[in-house]
Structure 1
């Protein structure tokens, strides 16, 4: 690991919740390659009482932190030491999460490549049941002075990495570190700074080609992890490899939540028409079914033929369907399930008994054994589960999403199954309809009336 710059970090805290508890001590050991360059630690005034059970574990009392600097005063020193380094911690999610929360409260962002020594130990030594720091100290004969104090534990984590070339296969060690870090292999045409500065928030990203043409639009719960994952050489499939070779630029659009990212992905794909997205591109083939006259086939109605292209403008429609073929396939399935007549469904053009009647799967409208009115009533009942639903609210509604890491709040507004943008109601989009319908079914109370 001679070419890597590490920051071994340990925090002591007043509890386990980054949003409610605070840091009481921070310890950092800086290493360039195999050379230790600095040790630094400081008590931190958490601004909240330290519970007795925490004091019993760490030995840090309320009296000890009284008069210590608050984290905001230490932030420049911490940021300077961590900048550009791999963040190494034991159960790194805990320490990394607390630091991110403290930076956020101070109005700053923090991000780093993270190496968790718990995960590294599990990867290299799966035969052991415990990978707590105490277990590693005993197993690998690590120094244990000042256990449960920040700098003492940071030193122990550093010592763990030092002994791994002795206790594990060097090639396996290098592979494990590389895979846990998931460091991207930046393509030659893309500025590496783009990948270093990615936020760890939900959102949408766009890969752009040499001519400025959008190549691919994707969504992510964590933009940094997802985008960099495309460029991680060991995890690429053939499609990813072809795509990243064409990338010359990158755009990201953070959102406050996953639903907003899904929505923006759909909208960006339809407006950008990226070369590598096909499934969600704007479709002009969306259609509905309308059963009008007894004895006649339901009519396939393109979305564009509806008044204002609004499915709610014509009650009784079934759908939407992605294409005419999809609508006919739905009718065929209903016919098989409900013994409907192929001719009355528009699926049989010959005289005499339809195919389903010939195999005794039709009640006989085509042979005069069932009246047109009875068949029409059964067709209407069969279509009921496919009816386009009424808007379940009294008017426009808003879904509020919060990103607790960044403080971002997005208010996503909808009415009559359509998204509402800055310029008002957007055109009906069947993909947005399906996404919104699933979200409402899961938790309708998450949607609030939109204040006008």
Structure 2
């Protein structure tokens, strides 16, 4: 078992990122709100939050999830062209400092952000690493557990706070709490350095995607699940 006094990634700073968007397809979804929350740094460092005017109608289905309407985003939000550089800069700042990004179901959020960056001619890192994805970690260490594996469900299972599902700041904080809790419940995760943990998650995510695809093909022979992690590469 890992000595709890030994420094390691579970004891260092992190940046938790969450996005609320217009839809479920990361190739076309636009960001409506976002939060980047520093974890494990001095108390004067606060969360960065953004309300975004995506420049398109926010579907009713998306509003039903996060509560942000098209009118609200247009009246109170800032243009996406102004916000996307700021979100990306926070991500780059953390990675440059060696902080891991905590992103629940990273391939969705990071792909959305990468596509938004391309849409608005913002430079995006060629490699985003290291990333900590509690969804991948949980599935790897407890793969046969029954039940849902949504962010609220994982918070309930690991007994960590989640103060507001589908609110960017609260979802980011919940993901960070999971990233703190998981290596303490499963110390084999804490024993890995960040670079190894990132590489392992790439392997684990691909295996999990293959398993899900095999399951889906029981009823839909054409079902495909991308193995890409932590984001989907741009099609060439």
Q: Answer yes or no: same fold by TM over 0.5.
A: yes
Name which of 41, 51, 55 aligns with 2:49. Answer: 41
Q: CA deviation at 1:87?
A: 2.4
Name which of 159, 163, 181 aligns with 2:198. Answer: 181
Deviations 1:45-72 (A, max 9, x none): 1111111111111111122211311222
State yes or no: 1:89 paired with 2:97: no
Q: CA deviation at 1:135?
A: 1.4
State yes or no: 1:106 paired with 2:120: yes
Q: CA deviation at 1:405?
A: 3.0
State yes or no: 1:121 paired with 2:138: yes
Higher-RCO chain (CA-CA 8 Å, sequence separation at least 6)? 2
Structure 2: unaligned runs, 5 residues or longer? 1-8, 201-229
Q: CA deviation at 1:103?
A: 0.7
Partner of residue 212, structure 2:
none
1:143/1:32 Cα in 2 relative to 1: closer, same or farther (>3 Å)? closer
Name which of 163, 168, 185 aligns with 1:167. Answer: 185
Runs (4 or more) in structure 1 with deviation over 6 Å come to: 33-36
- RMSD after superposition: 2.8
Partner of residue 17, structure 1:
25
Name which of 136, 141, 148 aligns with 2:166. Answer: 148
CA distance in 2, matches of 1:101, 1:21: 9
Mark the structure with the bigger radius of gyration: 1
TM-score by length of 2: 0.69
Partner of residue 449, structure 1:
none
Q: CA deviation at 1:96?
A: 0.4
Q: How many residues are matched?
A: 187
1:24/1:36 Cα in 2 relative to 1: closer, same or farther (>3 Å)? same
Deviations 1:296-336 (A, max 9, x none): xxxxxxxxxxxxxxxxxxxxxxxxxxxxxxxxxxxxxxxxx
CA distance in 2, matches of 1:131, 1:52: 25
Structure 1: unaligned runs, 5 residues or longer? 184-224, 226-403, 409-452
Decide whether the 8 Å contact of 2:189 with 2:197 is kept in 1: no
State yes or no: 1:135 paired with 2:153: yes
Decide whether the 8 Å contact of 1:124 with 1:173 is kept in 2: no
Deviations 1:251-288 (A, max 9, x none): xxxxxxxxxxxxxxxxxxxxxxxxxxxxxxxxxxxxxx
Please give the secondary structure, in 2, of the residue aligned with 1:47: coil
Q: CA deviation at 1:8?
A: 0.8
Partner of residue 405, structure 1:
234
State yes or no: 1:58 paired with 2:75: no
CA distance in 1, matches of 2:51, 2:22: 12
CA distance in 1, matches of 2:15, 2:44: 10
CA distance in 1, matches of 2:177, 2:101: 15
Q: CA deviation at 1:29?
A: 0.9
CA distance in 1, matches of 2:49, 2:34: 5
Q: CA deviation at 1:180?
A: 3.7
Deviations 1:368-425 (A, max 9, x none): xxxxxxxxxxxxxxxxxxxxxxxxxxxxxxxxxxxx838x7xxxxxxxxxxxxxxxxx
1:173/1:122 Cα in 2 relative to 1: closer, same or farther (>3 Å)? farther
